[in-house]
Amino acid sequence: MSRDRNIEIAPSILSADFSCLGDQIKAVERGGAGVLHVDVMDGHFVPNITIGLPVVKSLAAFTSLPLDTHLMISEPGRYATQFVEAGAQMVSVHVEADPHLHRTLMAIKAAGAHAGVVLNPSTPVVSVEEALQFADYVLVMSVNPGFGGQKFIPQSIDKVKRLRRMIDERQLNVRIEIDGGIDRKNIEIVVAAGAEIIVAGSAIFDTHDAEAAVKQLRDATVQWV
Ligand code: DX5
Ligand code: ZN
């Protein structure tokens, strides 16, 4: 692969211990995390409710890591720029939730953040073809969104490859993020397929040492860094 790649580990705080979230974030900072992945769920688009704007605002003031907000909400266009105002540097919206992707992506960028489009496991790559030119990154879900700790869907590897090809053919500067079921065993294969921002929740926070877990994931990708 000829283009420069910047492989980053994105710890998902969904699996963190919220009673000591600050400590957990400091640990992943020390481990060398590239961004902090924040899962926003509304109990409507996905069957779970998590966190929203006030938490993002507090996190932005607390951590030096860029906040990568993954909006698993209906009508994300109504809220996307509010997450930028709250301090998110990356905001992604699901293609399945937004019939006005162009408008939402442009609004996120105009507000000063990187704009991402997310694909559920059964949503075809072609559904983002027209949106690619307006996006900074595409997030490929490798589990069905809603919960941490699910099993990686292996067909996601080929999906990442096909998406990478589609982006490269158009000579676009769009990064690929992958989210769901990533651990030390499969991280190499998803990076080899073309993913650059690697979300991991349970593989980091369901351990005794989140700092070491991030380091181990980074070490597994060292040949691409
Ligand atoms: C799932 C979320 C993920 C989740 C990943 O809906 O989008 O970010 O936290 O957790 P793991 O890495 O445990 O699959
Ligand atoms: Zn996520």
pLDDT in tens, the chain (225 residues): 456 789 999 999 999 999 999 999 999 999 999 999 999 999 999 999 999 999 999 999 999 999 999 999 999 999 999 999 999 999 999 999 999 999 999 999 999 999 999 999 999 999 999 999 999 999 999 999 999 999 999 999 999 999 999 999 999 999 999 999 999 999 999 999 999 999 999 999 999 999 999 999 999 998 876
Which residues are annotated as catalytic?
A: 39, 179
Q: Which of 42, 177, 179, 185, when mutated, tests ligand 1's pocket best, judged by the most ligand atoms within 8 Å of its CB?
A: 179
Compute φ and ψ for 142, nearest 5 degrees.
-105, 15
Residue nearest to atom 9 of ligand 1 (CA): 148
Whether pTM > 0.95 for this model: the answer is yes
